[in-house]
Amino acid sequence: MTTGVGTDRLDAVVIGGGPAGLFAAWRLATGGARVALVEAGGGMRDSLCPRVTARMRGQQVRPAEKFRLQCNRCDCLTGLGGAAFHFDTNLGYIRGLSRSKIENDGAGGYRAYSGLERALGDFDRAADAVADVYRLMYGFGLPPTAPESPESPALPVSDARTSGAPAPVAGFALADEALSQAITVDDAIGMVDALTAEAREHGLRLLLGRRVEDVTRGPEGDWHVRVAGSPEPPLRAANVVVAVGKLGLAWVRDVLRRNGVAHRPSRRVDVGIRLETGREEAAPLTASCHNPKFTFLNELGEPVRTFCVCEGGRIMQYAFDDTTVLDGQHCLTTPTDRTNFGIVTTVDVPEDTDGTEHALDFARRVTKLGGGLPVVQPLLELLGGARLSERPAHSLIHSADDDLASALGPRRVADIAGMVERLEAVAPGLAGPRTVVAAPVVEKLYPSIELSSELESSAPGLYFAGDCSSKIIGVTYGAATGLVAADAILAPRGSR
């Protein structure tokens, strides 16, 4: 049961009920703060995909029907738990934080880094924050992962505390197989239920099905949070934690402009494709790790990397801005016979270019080619081979079959070719006739917001956590930033 908006002054309002918002609201409430959490969607059970709820009721979908029943575009990305927990997913590292990304160091080499480390300003602090997230998740009912099998082959893991990387594997500058943990929707529901129940016992005001229209500072210095469609006055609070996901991009950009928050256009964005092949062909990549990360630098010094490996999963699509983009879906409970993963390039956009628009233009080019749909093409054709007479199966039903090279451009095609060539040494047969590429994929779209190591913006009392912070993406990283922002609000300002 939700409560009304009301007019009492709060210590904080949290906007968005994904991992960042949930953990921020819990920490604030259990820390004694008067806090409200506003979520545009409903409760987690109310906003789950109908296919998921059918499976939870025991109405299993026959394997032959699994893909035919897909929605054209997913609209289950709002609701308590956020997009992350609405599907089986992968939480990230549990053995310890790793510097799993690399960048050109400007001197002919590269450096490894962690996005969370950079966001919080210190590696140990970031590692402790991730450990805190897992400790809490286990306390809320997340089943601990099974121990690693000693028989599982393993590739080198990057040294967490150095800027270097292990010896290259098959031509990669970085090969990282740090142990991660998966979670099913069933377990996520129990965990979110336990977290919200405890927070509400400590006074959390949970406002579901309420979309925040505006966030502005009032003349008295408090923040005013206006909820769309509410006849009551705006919520008043000393602090606001903005924790909306990717779909909140346009709204966040407006909030930044209206409040004069220091930010600049993003100079780096991730653009690319998802590669899908048979589960057997991809098995060597996932034999010892749910989500291996492989990276190399292309001729321009841009990192090209794999991400979000979905073993036995499928590709999903959703509406974003005025286009359609793709993501990977883990299917842990009802696995498929396919595996997919992203191949993206971190592009340094020109000085006079807005990175957000650069990425969106990339997505628009692809979907324009597909007549409004994502485009799928056999990998061998994209890499210059003759058209295959037999079209390989894939998990996207509502898609177009066309020549992606014209929309991706020669540089991105070269990056895909370079990644596939290197992966072939790890998983021979990956570049076979059953393998397809699907586009567009875009990540890290938010403007670069000037934030302190506590995630506070240049507007005192206004914090940004999770995806919209522009610093990180991911479930555990998002939850960690929510805890950091909450701790900063709970601490006396003079002690920060």
As a whole-number percent, the residues of the chain with pLDDT over 90 amount to 66
* pTM higher than the cut 0.85: yes
> Which residues fall within 8 angstroms of residue 125, CB to CB, at 6 or more apart?
none
Check pLDDT > 90 for residue 150.
no
Return the closest-CA partner of residue 417 out of 435, 442, 441, 440.
Answer: 435
Mean pLDDT of 299-322: 92
Q: How far is CA 390 from CA 22, 342, 387, in A?
A: 47, 24, 9
Look up residue 288 and give its amino acid: S
- C-alpha–C-alpha distance, residues 333 and 444, integer Å: 29
Better pLDDT: 146 or 138: 138
Number of CB atoms found within 10 A of residue 228's CB: 10
**pLDDT class of 273 with cuts at 50, 70, 90:** very high
Mean pLDDT of 268-295: 92
- C-alpha–C-alpha distance, residues 26 and 164, integer Å: 37
Check pLDDT > 90 for residue 354.
yes
Check pLDDT > 70 for residue 479.
yes
Q: Report the pLDDT value the prediction gives residue 289, as an integer from 0 to 100.
A: 81
Q: How far is CA 12 from CA 49, 198, 218, 450, in A?
A: 31, 17, 14, 20
Span 422-440, pLDDT tens digits: 999 999 999 999 999 999 9
- C-alpha–C-alpha distance, residues 291 and 89, integer Å: 11
Check pLDDT > 70 for residue 275.
yes
Segments making up each domain of the chain, as ranges: 9-85+185-264+447-495, 105-111+149-179+267-443
Structural contact between residues 279 and 337, judged by C-beta atoms closer than 8 angstroms = yes
Check pLDDT > 50 for residue 66.
no
Of 153-157, 300-304, 445-449, give the lowest mean pLDDT range: 153-157
171 by DSSP, 3-state: which? coil
Report DSSP state, residue 350: -
Span 35-65, pLDDT tens digits: 999 999 988 887 666 655 555 555 554 444 4
471 by DSSP, 3-state: which? coil
- C-alpha–C-alpha distance, residues 120 and 49, integer Å: 34
Q: What is the dihedral of CA 7, 9, 14, 17, to 10 degrees?
A: -40
Q: What is 86-149 written as a DSSP string?
A: TS-EEEEESS-----EEEE-SSSSEEEE-HHHHHHT-HHHHHHHHHHHHHHHHHTTPPPPPPPP
Q: What is the mean pLDDT of the chain?
A: 87
Q: Report the pLDDT value the prediction gives residue 72, as an integer from 0 to 100.
A: 53
Q: How far is CA 218 from CA 105, 236, 405, 462, in A?
A: 44, 9, 51, 13
Of 54-68, 170-184, 328-342, 389-403, give the lowest mean pLDDT range: 54-68
Return the closest-CA partner of residue 128 out of 480, 455, 486, 467.
Answer: 480
Check pLDDT > 80 for residue 225.
yes
Return the closest-CA partner of residue 28 out of 469, 468, 463.
Answer: 463
Q: Report the pLDDT value the prediction gives residue 160, as an integer from 0 to 100.
A: 40
- C-alpha–C-alpha distance, residues 20 and 468, integer Å: 10
Mean pLDDT of 111-136: 94
186 by DSSP, 3-state: which? helix
Better pLDDT: 104 or 138: 138
Q: Report the pLDDT value the prediction gives residue 175, as an integer from 0 to 100.
A: 87
Better pLDDT: 187 or 51: 187
313 by DSSP, 3-state: which? coil
- C-alpha–C-alpha distance, residues 368 and 408, integer Å: 12
Q: How far is CA 305 from CA 208, 346, 365, in A?
A: 37, 8, 22
Find tokens 């990192």 and name the residue. Answer: 303
Structural contact between residues 77 and 247, judged by C-beta atoms closer than 8 angstroms = yes
Look up residue 404 and give its amino acid: L
Fold for 9-85+185-264+447-495, please state it: FAD/NAD(P)-binding domain (3.50.50)
